[in-house]
Amino acid sequence: MSDSKYENKPGIDERISRAYYKGQKIVVTGGAGFIGSHIVETLLPVGAEVTVIDNFLRGNKIEHLRGRQNLSVYEADVTDAEAINKLINDCDIMFHLAAVVGVEETQIAPVEVLNVEVQGTINIFNLAVEKNTNAVAVSEFQGTQLVFIG
Ligand SMILES: NC(=O)c1ccc[n+]([C@@H]2O[C@H](COP(=O)([O-])OP(=O)(O)OC[C@H]3O[C@@H](n4cnc5c(N)ncnc54)[C@H](O)[C@@H]3O)[C@@H](O)[C@H]2O)c1
């Protein structure tokens, strides 16, 4: 089956260049966290339209960007499919970094932590399919597994 959207997708060299993200609508889950905040800080100056979804469990590392043009920040939980579906109209790329990170948290509430990783990731992938998103990047839990679907 041929799908021109995928046949014409840019190569990796293009996607790692910052200019590629200019004008793209990009969702960053966990965008207020350590990695997510650096992604947001990198994307805004190149002219991306960035939407952050975070429940601020770990505070807010993008507080200093409040009011910036092209940045929308929503408090929501990635396990709540209905809530995140309402927030995202369309998007070109998703970076999924929302996660409960830490050995202690995993020991105290293993089911809840796994639910964020598993159900949250399923919700983001479902949303990506529904919104016809071009690419989803996921940095998974307790390791450095990176999934990139272009
Ligand atoms: N920091 C690293 O060196 C590193 C290295 C490799 C992989 N990773 C992976 O990258 C991801 C992000 O790591 P990080 O260091 O930025 O962690 P972090 O704790 O700084 O950021 C995670 C963000 O997700 C948010 N969050 C948590 N649960 C949520 C939920 N249910 N809904 C919405 N938002 C939620 C938190 O509030 C936080 O802002 C994790 O999957 C982690 O395993 C991190």
Q: What atom of ligand 1 comes closest to residue 145's alpha carbon?
A: 7
Kindly state if the Cβ of 34 falls inside 6 Å of ligand 1.
Answer: yes
For position 136, what pLDDT does the model report? 76
* Torsion angle (degrees, nearest 10) of CA 23, 25, 30, 34: -10
Whether 146 has a pLDDT exceeding 70, the answer reads no
For position 144, what pLDDT does the model report? 47
Distance 2 CA to ligand 1 centre (A): 36
Tell me the pTM. 0.89
Kindly state if the Cβ of 140 falls inside 6 Å of ligand 1.
Answer: yes
Distance 89 CA to ligand 1 centre (A): 23
Distance 99 CA to ligand 1 centre (A): 4
Whether 12 has a pLDDT exceeding 70, the answer reads no
Compare 139 and 143 and report the one with higher pLDDT: 139
**Two tokens at 86?**
């309402």
**Two tokens at 88?**
């995202």
For residue range 53-77, list pLDDT tens digits in order: 999 999 999 999 999 999 999 999 9
pLDDT interval class at 6 (50, 70, 90): low
For position 90, what pLDDT does the model report? 87
Q: Is the dihedral of CA 46, 130, 89, 2 positive or negative?
A: positive
For position 8, what pLDDT does the model report? 60
Query: How far apart (Å, rounded) are the C-alpha atoms in residues 63 and 49?
Result: 17
